[in-house]
Structure 1
Amino acid sequence: MTEFRFELSPFNYKKVHGRKGVVGDFGEVTLEVERRKGFSRESGIHSEVRLRGENLPDTVYRTVGPGQPTLKNARLLINGHRCEMRFNSKGFRNASRALKLTYRERSYEYSVTRFEKGATLSRPGSLVTLTHGKSSAAKGMSTFGTATGEVDSIDLALAIVFEGVDTLELTATGAVSETLNRLLNSPRRNEPIGDY
């Protein structure tokens, strides 16, 4: 069993923002978040989160729609192979809303520990914990990670890529927000449903 810590500091360029740093023996890692046009006819905009690293697999997370990448309309690829994602949108606790990931023969659970404060990615024998705090090297908030157990490059790639994704839906706050949004945006009894 091993344990190591790392820090990913924020950066912000004209079209790309993200985090970068050295992740133990896995070397330099860069997480880039970029918005592009032309991916979808409906929205015309898509977001791509890409993880690059010396010893990490090529990891790409894509979503359709405006704003920060979300869990809706998303596709996650590791070395070109799809990683399945699902979560219980009806749960009212963070633990019950955890994201279940399946990549090849591996099963993971990604849980947001506290709203905008951190998350964990786990599988049997492996745990990656992420928290947020003031950066030691740049302005803004860094991601601080702790890897425990038999953590490998796929574990780290999965944990880090979600630092570029809005995971509010995995929190109890997200559940309340979703319920309120549904109530406020659903048609009233006397209103027609559909196009005008």
Structure 2
Amino acid sequence: METSSESLKFELTPYSVKPKRELPRAGLKGEVGHFGAVTVERSPLYRPGDKGMDTARLSGPAFPETVFRGKRRSGRPSLFKAELTLDGKKAELRFNSRAVRKEDRALHIAHEGREYVYSVEGLGKPRVLERAGVKIAMESGQFVPGADGAPSVGTATGPVDVVDLAVALVLEQVDTDALTLGGAIASSPFALMQRFSDRAE
């Protein structure tokens, strides 16, 4: 598997399409250094048949197909009832939405012998995915008037490969507010409602 040993900088730009006979799509796309083109996509439209679940999907010629599903929140999948699969193989996800300390609120992801920690400091701060020797930090770039949102600017350090990048990039289209203290406090009523609706299903 190809890796990048030096620091890699890249930018994904937001886009949205509204085809006539298909669901509208929105997300990010761009080139990630020598790894090439990548697209992270979700449908901003609420679909009643999905039982309140939403999906973000990453694809690119060099990347494993990566799918993140979670309860819909703010027009995106969230970390509640979440599932992450890479090339059809499920990753293990765990996080504590009620934790007060930043380290305890981080999202832990285990996949094929790799252990990742994903943390979000708060609004305007980097979103960071780390495993031993590898770090990918994503930040929101400068908002361009008339664009579909702000670009996502990434810096990857260490022997980064397509799996690391796929995990970090698919999370750019996921509502990860619950990992911030403010978000954890704001989403606690949401978590409580989820618990009641889960019981009702």
Given the two structures, how large is their TM-score scaled by the length of structure 1? 0.83
Within-5 A mapping of 1:53-68: 53-65=60-72, 67-68=75-76
* 1:57 aligned partner, one-letter code: P
Q: Distance in 1 between matches of 2:101 and 2:81?
A: 23
The change in CA–CA distance for 1:177 and 1:3 in structure 2 (over 3 A counts) is: same
Q: Distance in 2 between matches of 1:117 and 1:19?
A: 19
Determine if the alignment matches structure 1 residue 120 to structure 2 residue 120: no
Q: Distance in 1 between matches of 2:28 and 2:102?
A: 25
Deviations 1:17-47 (A, max 9, x none): 000010011101111012563654xx3x432
Within-5 A mapping of 1:155-174: 155-174=164-183
Residues 71, 79 of structure 2: 8 Å contact kept:
no
Q: Which runs of 5+ in 1 are unaligned?
A: 186-193
Q: CA deviation at 1:118?
A: 2.6
Match of 1:22 in 2: 31
SS of equivalent residue, structure 2 residue 184? helix
Match of 2:21 in 1: none
Q: Distance in 2 between matches of 1:148 and 1:59?
A: 21
Greater per-residue strand proportion: 1
Match of 1:191 in 2: none
Q: Distance in 2 between matches of 1:142 and 1:54?
A: 21
User: What's the Cα RMSD here?
Assistant: 2.5
Q: CA deviation at 1:90?
A: 2.2
Q: Which runs of 5+ in 2 are unaligned?
A: 19-23, 194-198
Match of 1:51 in 2: 58
Percent identity over the alignment is 38
Paired residue total: 182
The change in CA–CA distance for 1:7 and 1:136 in structure 2 (over 3 A counts) is: farther
Greater per-residue helix proportion: 2
Match of 2:108 in 1: 100
Residues 136, 156 of structure 2: 8 Å contact kept:
yes
Deviations 1:73-127 (A, max 9, x none): 2211100000111012221133320000000111000001322543010000111
Q: Mean Cα displacement is larger for which, 53-62 or 145-154?
A: 53-62
* 1:83 aligned partner, one-letter code: A
Among 156, 180, 184, the alignment partner of 1:175 is 184
> Which of structures 1 and 2 has the bigger CA Rg?
1
* 1:22 aligned partner, one-letter code: E
